[in-house]
Amino acid sequence: MKHNQATLIVVKPDGLKKSLTGNILTRLSETKLEIVAAKVLRVSKELAEEHYSHLKDEPFFGELIKYIQGEMHNRKKTMAMVYWGPDAINKVRQLAGATNPEEAESTTIRGSFGRITTKGLYENVIHASANEEESEREIKLWFSPDDIIVDLYPAQVRTDKECKRRVWA
Ligand code: IDP
Ligand code: MG
């Protein structure tokens, strides 16, 4: 049996604008993987640039950062999730399809719903981690240990006395 893995999935702003969240969750449920974390969030410039740091020298980097931040869709939000189970990374990548939506098989999420913008950026609806090194890096970037219902990676307890945070009034 293939070993358990965790993988980061992000419904990108085009996926949210096109109301594809339900559809994507249904497709993901076919994998029989377990969902262990989920949140809706605005992607800061810092998070965007760190998430895509491997592409910083590409000509489309600037557009890519604007895209994941939602500036092209007037939808400044994404939905990030961690799925967990046997062979999770490959299962989700298969379902997502190729990076270039024109090359992705038409039955995949990217093949069904992605497009290439006039500027040449691939708007491909979802992000999915490509390998274990990447999934660990990305999950640690997008989530804190307490956001995830299983212990994926070693964590430590830190007491921040002066740390200001909002609580319900
Ligand atoms: P992946 O999302 O399939 O892992 P990456 O190479 O990590 O592919 O690229 C991250 C994102 O950058 C892609 O999902 C896509 O939105 C965009 N992208 C990647 N390569 C190209 C390209 O050659 N032209 C335009 N956009 C690209
Ligand atoms: Mg990638």
Q: What is the pLDDT of residues 140-164, one digit of tens each?
A: 999 999 999 999 999 999 998 888 9
What is the rounded distance in angstroms from the CA atom of residue 145 to the CA atom of residue 24? Answer: 25
Phi, psi of 123 (to 5 degrees): -95, 100
pLDDT of 46 above 90 = yes
Residue 125 lies in a domain: yes
Give residue-wise pLDDT tens across range 78-113.
Answer: 999 999 999 999 999 999 999 999 999 999 999 999
**Bigger pLDDT: 75 vs 109:** 109
In ligand 1, the atom with minimum distance to the C-alpha of 129 is: 4
C-alpha torsion angle, residues 137, 143, 144, 150 (rounded to 10): -90
The confidence score (pLDDT) of residue 108 equals 98
Residue 160 has a pLDDT of: 85
* Cβ atoms 125, 114 nearer than 8 A: yes
Domain interval for residue 91:
4-147
163 found inside a domain? no
Angle at 31 between CA 131 and CA 147, to 5 degrees: 65
pLDDT of residue 103: 98
Please compute the mean of the pLDDT values over residues 67-81 and round it to a whole number.
96
Residue 122 has φ and ψ, to the nearest 5°, of -85, 110
156 domain residue, yes or no: no
Share of the chain above pLDDT 90, in %: 94
Q: Give the pLDDT confidence score for residue 127 in this predicted structure.
A: 98
- Domain CATH for 70: 3.30.70.141
Q: Using a cut of 0.85, tell me whether the model's pTM lies above it.
A: yes
Q: Which two tokens stand for residue 117?
A: 């913008």
- Residues in contact with 113: Cβ distance below 8 Å, sequence separation at least 6, in sequence order: 14, 15, 18, 20, 101, 125
Whether the predicted pLDDT of 2 surpasses 90:
no
Is the pLDDT at 1 greater than 80, yes or no?
no
Domain assignment present for 97 = yes
Write down the mean pLDDT value for the chain.
Answer: 97
How many domains, in total, are found in the chain? 1
Q: Which residues of 122-148 are buried (b: 16+ CB within 10 A; e: fewer)?
A: bbbbbbbbbeeeebbbbbeebbeeeeb
Residue 82: closest CA among 161, 165, 158, 4: 4
In this predicted structure, the answer to whether residue 32 has a pLDDT above a threshold of 90 is yes
Q: What spacing in Å lies between the alpha carbon of 101 and ligand 2's midpoint?
A: 14
Nearest atom (ligand 1) to Cα of 122? 26
Q: Does any domain span residue 99?
A: yes
Q: Which ligand is nearest to the CA of 68?
A: 1
Residue 71 in domain? yes
Does 157 map to a domain? no
Residue 121 neighbours by CB distance under 10 Å: 16
* Three-state DSSP class for residue 8: strand
